[in-house]
Structures are given as C-alpha cells and as structure tokens.
Amino acid sequence: MIKIIITKTEQKIKKVEITGHAKASEYGKDLVCAAIAGIATGGLNAIDQIKPDNCEFLVKEGLINIIVKNDSADLQVMLQTIYYQFLTIYQQYQKFISVKEVKE
C-alpha cells in the first residue's frame, strides 16, 4: 500500500511524505504506483524549477519527501495541487492508497 501523509500547520502544507508501493499489479506494470509517482515527481520537479530554494527533497526507492523550508503563496498552490491530485487517485483506488492529514 502507498501511504501519503500530508503534514499541515495552520492549514498550510509543511511536508508531503509518500512511502510504499501500491502492489495493484506486478512490479513495472502497476498503474496506481505509476500515477502517484508521476504526480509526486512532476510536482517536486515543478517546485524545484519555480521555487528552487523553498523545499528540501528526499527521493529513494519507496520514499518521496517534500519538506517546506521557505513558505510562499505560490508554493502552497503547487503543494495543494499535488494533494488534490493524490485525492483524485485515492478516490478510485482506496484499496491501494491511504491519504492522511496530520496537524502539527
């Protein structure tokens, strides 16, 4: 299962943590995993290009972290977009994904 944890402070996203694998299909053919990885990778690439000093990224096999260092309104729009894209996939594939919001 893919676990997505969105950490918020005062309604602002401070961290996005994605762990695990969907296991909806065999490795390399798992469209649920590919969808989440595509959203996460595209999102962090956009943040890195548009707001290069605003976040810290950690990308490993089965783990993606996006940690806010310098917040801004533009950054929050990008992070909210990523979050709502995850929720869209989650609505269809709840057996393979969990999305949790944590308040600090």
User: What is the CATH number for 53?
Assistant: 3.30.70.1490
Look at residue 47 in the predicted model and tell me its pLDDT. 97
Number of domains the chain contains: 1
Other beta carbons within 10 angstroms of residue 11's beta carbon come to 8
Of 78, 72, 97, nearest in space to 87 by CA: 97
Mean per-residue pLDDT for 22-50? 93
Residue 14 belongs to what domain range?
2-99
Q: What is the pLDDT of residues 25-34, one digit of tens each?
A: 988 899 999 9
pLDDT band with cut points at 50, 70 and 90 for residue 45: very high
Asked whether residue 104 is assigned to any structural domain, the reply reads no
Tokens describing residue 11 = 């309604």
CA distance 27 to 100: 25
pTM of the model: 0.94
pLDDT at 27: 83
Please give the DSSP secondary-structure letter assigned to residue 53.
Answer: T
- The per-residue pLDDT for 72 is 96
> Residue 28: what pLDDT?
84
H or E segment and range at residue 65: strand 63-68
Over range 61-87, report the average pLDDT: 96
